[in-house]
């Protein structure tokens, strides 16, 4: 991937890495606050936050909650701009955007195609999630399995394969895992359980429009939680991020 195709957060990450490489920030130094970096580079704090997460994954900096971001002593691991841009294939919000666009349509089609066995499997999955949460258990594989079952209910192997590939991409994304590990509070998990329950109910009553809207809103809720974790002060999304507008057509 060349510089022209680098995302904004990757460009900011490279600028920070270049500053560290030329000695503007030395090992142990604390980087300026997100707000100051956002003003310096004329981007939103959400972009700065993703750039810092990227650098942390590359072991260039350490993010200490409540303290700040500190430069780590690893000069030999300095990456070129090409390597930096290739290190993460897409950002957290890009992944969510792709899933929202794709899986809302999959849910809509599933409502038209699901058979009795599909409905039973979806109900079993949602009941298992309820039991796990009631027992204080958070199982991410339950989440992925649910979305697989929705895709399988379309009776279309190509859609199942596409959905599985999108989840593989998510599971390979260090930036996603870095953010997602902080979503372990049960209030959010119960909210997402209710989202998925509404998806199942819409599919069960063969309500394609309702299933589409329920899936869209579910991923919207996940996005809002991730955004809050990334940057509670950001008031806008950047070019590669997506709007919060509801669906205008069905």
121 and 149 share a domain?
yes
57 and 94 share a domain?
no
Confidence of residue 155 (pLDDT cuts 50, 70, 90): very high
In a domain, 108, yes or no: yes
Per the structure block, which two tokens stand in for 152?
């399988």
92 and 66 share a domain?
no
Residue 63: beta bridge partners?
Answer: 69
19 and 55 share a domain?
yes
Identify the residue with better confidence: 57 or 220.
220
**Which pLDDT value is given to residue 76?**
45
Has residue 164 got a pLDDT over 70? Answer: yes
In a domain, 239, yes or no: no
Gap between the Cα atoms of 114 and 154, Å rounded: 6
120 and 12 share a domain?
no
67 and 177 share a domain?
no
Q: End of a domain among 24, 50, 77?
A: 77
Has residue 175 got a pLDDT over 90? Answer: no
Average pLDDT over residues 160-171: 83
40 and 136 share a domain?
no
Task: Give the C-alpha distances (Å, rounded to integers) separating 174 from 58, 73, 108, 146, 185.
Answer: 10, 21, 30, 22, 20
The domain that contains 136 carries what CATH number? 1.20.120.530
Least confident among 61-75, 85-99, 151-165: 85-99
Gap between the Cα atoms of 238 and 46, Å rounded: 8
Average pLDDT over residues 115-129: 93
167 and 128 share a domain?
yes
Beta-carbon count within 10 A of 177 CB: 14
**Which pLDDT value is given to residue 167?**
83
Gap between the Cα atoms of 190 and 134, Å rounded: 9
216 and 132 share a domain?
yes
In a domain, 100, yes or no: yes
Domain extent at residue 196: 88-229
Identify the residue with better confidence: 249 or 222.
222
In a domain, 157, yes or no: yes
Radius of gyration of the chain (CA): 20
In the chain, the number of structural domains is 2
Residue that the structure tokens 């205008």 belong to? 248
pLDDT tens sequence across 45-59: 888 888 888 888 777
In a domain, 2, yes or no: no
In a domain, 64, yes or no: yes
Task: Give the C-alpha distances (Å, rounded to integers) separating 156 from 22, 95, 106, 120.
Answer: 53, 22, 10, 18
95 and 142 share a domain?
yes
Has residue 223 got a pLDDT over 60? Answer: yes
Confidence of residue 237 (pLDDT cuts 50, 70, 90): very low
Task: Give the C-alpha distances (Å, rounded to integers) separating 177 from 87, 88, 157, 222, 226.
Answer: 14, 12, 27, 14, 11
Bridge pairing between strands 68-71 and 61-64: antiparallel
In a domain, 241, yes or no: no
Q: Average pLDDT over the chain, rounded to whole?
A: 79
pLDDT tens sequence across 188-205: 889 999 999 999 999 999
167 and 140 share a domain?
yes
Identify the residue with better confidence: 9 or 134.
134
The domain that contains 57 carries what CATH number? 1.10.10.10
User: Nearest-5° angle of CA 143, CA 172, CA 174?
Assistant: 100
Confidence of residue 5 (pLDDT cuts 50, 70, 90): very low
pTM: 0.61
**Which pLDDT value is given to residue 173?**
65
Residue that the structure tokens 């509070």 belong to? 185
Has residue 134 got a pLDDT over 80? Answer: yes
In a domain, 208, yes or no: yes
Q: End of a domain among 50, 77, 104?
A: 77
122 and 37 share a domain?
no
Q: End of a domain among 77, 99, 120?
A: 77
């Amino acid at each position: 991937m060349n510089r022209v195709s680098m995302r904004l957060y990757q460009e900011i990450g490279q600028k920070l890495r270049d500053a560290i490489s030329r000695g503007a920030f030395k090992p142990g130094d604390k980087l300026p606050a997100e707000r100051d970096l956002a003003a310096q580079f004329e981007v939103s704090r959400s972009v700065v936050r993703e750039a810092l997460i990227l650098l942390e994954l590359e072991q260039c900096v350490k993010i200490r909650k409540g303290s700040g971001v500190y430069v780590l002593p690893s000069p030999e691991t300095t990456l070129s701009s090409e390597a930096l841009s290739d290190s993460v294939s897409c950002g957290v919000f890009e992944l969510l955007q792709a899933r929202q666009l794709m899986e809302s349509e999959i849910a809509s089609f599933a409502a038209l195609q699901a058979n009795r066995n599909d409905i039973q499997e979806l109900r079993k999955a949602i009941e298992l999630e309820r039991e796990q949460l009631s027992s204080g258990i958070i199982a991410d594989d339950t989440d992925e399995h649910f979305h697989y079952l929705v895709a399988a209910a379309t009776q279309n192997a190509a859609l199942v394969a596409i959905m599985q590939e999108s989840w593989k991409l998510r599971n390979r994304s260090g930036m996603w895992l870095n953010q997602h590990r902080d979503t372990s509070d049960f209030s959010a998990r119960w909210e997402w359980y209710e989202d998925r329950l509404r998806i199942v109910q819409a599919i069960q009553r063969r309500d394609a429009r309702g299933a589409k809207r329920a899936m869209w809103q579910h991923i919207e809720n996940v996005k809002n939680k991730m955004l809050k974790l990334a940057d509670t002060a950001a008031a806008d999304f950047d070019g590669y991020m997506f709007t919060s507008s509801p669906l205008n057509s069905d």
